[in-house]
Each structure stands twice: as C-alpha cells, then as structure tokens.
Amino acid sequence: MIHANEVTKRYGDAVVVDCLSVTIPKGGITSIIGPNGAGKSTLLSMLARLLKMDGGSVTVGGLDVTATASDVIARRLAILRQDNHLSARLTVRDLVTFGRFPYSRGRPTLEDKAHVERALAYLDLGALADRYLDELSGGQRQRAFVAMVLCQDTDYVLLDEPLNNLDMKHAQSMMKTLRRATRDFGKTVVLVLHDINFASWYSDFVVAMKGGRLAAAGTVDEVIREDMLREIYGMDIHVHEVAGRRIALYYE
C-alpha cells in the first residue's frame, strides 16, 4: 500500500501538487490520469523520493520514504522516469545488471546474474542483451529500462508514461508484461498514463488528478464515467461498453 498524506509541492508561487492525500492499494495496476500540468509526474516523483516535498508525507508498505535510508527503499520501490538519457555507453545486459545494485552493491553474485537473465527473458530481450543501448530503437530501449526496474525485484514499481514513444504493438505488449508481473510476482505497478483507454483496459485502480488536486480515485467503473471525465478533462467524452470494458470516445 502506498499512502500519500497531504503531499504538497510548489515552485515559487505555483502550487503543482496541492495538499493531496491518496491511498494506492497493494497489488495490481494503478493508473494516474489527468490533463497536462495536473501534477501527475510530480506526484510520482514525490512518491519515489526523487523530489522533495514541501509538505506532507509518503509511506510505502509502511516505510516513510523520506525518513528511511535510501538503500532500504530501493529494495522496496523502483521508479523509472520518462526520459532516461545516459551519458555512459552501456549494453542492455549492463543496464539490467544495475537493477541488482541495491543487493549486490556493484559485485553481482551468481544469484544476481540469474535475476538479470530472468528479467531479460521476461521482457524478451535475450537476443539484444549484448547490444548497446544507442543501437536500439526507442521501443527496445524502453523495454531495457523496464527490465532493469523489474530486475530490482521490488514490491512496488512506479513508471512515468511508459507508453511514450511506443507504437500500438509495443504499447500493448508493455501493458501485458506489466499485468503479467502483477499476477506472477504480486507486484504493485503504478503508472502515469495519457491514454485513458489503456488506463481503462488494464488498470485495477485509477487515480485522477486535476490542477494538483485529487479529482477521483477508485476502480475503473467508478472513475471512467462520462460525468467524471468531463469534470477532469473539461471536455465531452462518451464512454461505451466494448467487450465488457469501458472505452472512451473523445475524437469529435
């Protein structure tokens, strides 16, 4: 369970996240949705202690993220941000091996190496393991980063817009992989998503934000509703039932 209690972030006079409290349940996929500038990525960064809070507190599985030693949190929670520029030139396997750092402190054991190979196989990266990251396509690189995060073997995995730059096929396979990880290993995956239909289709829980505040939090059925979405995005969105799921149409 991730619990944010009256979390606040401001830059000068601009309040980006405004005294927000939310509880993200353990297990399954939770999507954070909302319009641009709603503070989704900021919230995610604060949940993962990347960004200092100006007020409030966050606990992850009972541990206060700012008070607990960083290496203890690193075995509980992993985060992947949106754009990951590396100045170093690494192979896919090198990168994924870094995921074991919280355990190996840089000296990977046989067990760590087995974890790496499993993560590579899980993301279907076996054939690319010895290629350098700068030789890969955007989608392959994204998969390599996700493999690293899964290799960190944490109960909680936070991903900021993991579908960015992915085509339909790769976006679908990324979401399926994440869903599989929640079922196979009981992980809790928290994502920032822009496409509400991906959120609707794959999420167990949805958190909606608007203007730095919590707009709604609940199951897909509770949040993906025409009145809710109009409130959140300020536009008319029609919600249809397709194959038993909710699909939003907002193109016209």
Partner 1 sequence: MLPDRNARPRAVLLLLAALAVGAGVAFMTLGAKGNWDFVLKFRGLKLAGLVLVAWAIALSTVLFQTVTNNRILTPALMGFDALYILIQTTLVALLGTAAVAMLDHNSVFALNVVAMALFSGLLFRWLFAGEERSLHLLVLAGIIFGVFFKSLSSLMQRLLDPNEFMVLQDSFFASFNRIDATLLGVSAAIIAAVSAFVIPMLPRLDVLALGRPMAISLGLNYRREVSLVLVAVALLVSASTALVGPVTFFGLLVASLAHAMVGNARHAVLIPAAVLLSVIFLVGGQTILERVFGFDTALSVIIEFVGGIAFIILIVRGAVR
- Binding-site ranges for partner 1 (CB under 8 A): 45, 48-52, 69-75, 78-81, 84-91, 94, 98-99, 101-102, 105-107, 130, 149, 152
Question: Minimum distance from CB of 202 to partner 1 (Å)?
Answer: 23
- Evaluate whether 46 touches 22 at the Cβ level (below 8 Å): no
Q: Smallest gap, in angstroms, from Cβ of residue 167 to partner 1? A: 25
Q: Give the distance from CA 52 to its chain's centroid.
A: 19
Given the complex with partner 1, which of 15 and 51 has the nearer CB atom? 51
Q: How far is the CB of 225 from partner 1 (least distance, A)?
A: 34
Q: Which is nearer to partner 1, 56 or 218 (CB)?
A: 56
Residue closer to partner 1 (CB basis): 130 or 252: 130
Instruction: Give whichever of 52 and 169 is closer to partner 1, judged by the CB atom.
Output: 52
Q: Which is nearer to partner 1, 16 or 220 (CB)?
A: 16
For the bound state, the minimum distance from the C-beta of residue 101 to partner 1, rounded and expressed in Å, comes to 5
Smallest distance, partner 1 to C-beta of residue 247, A = 34
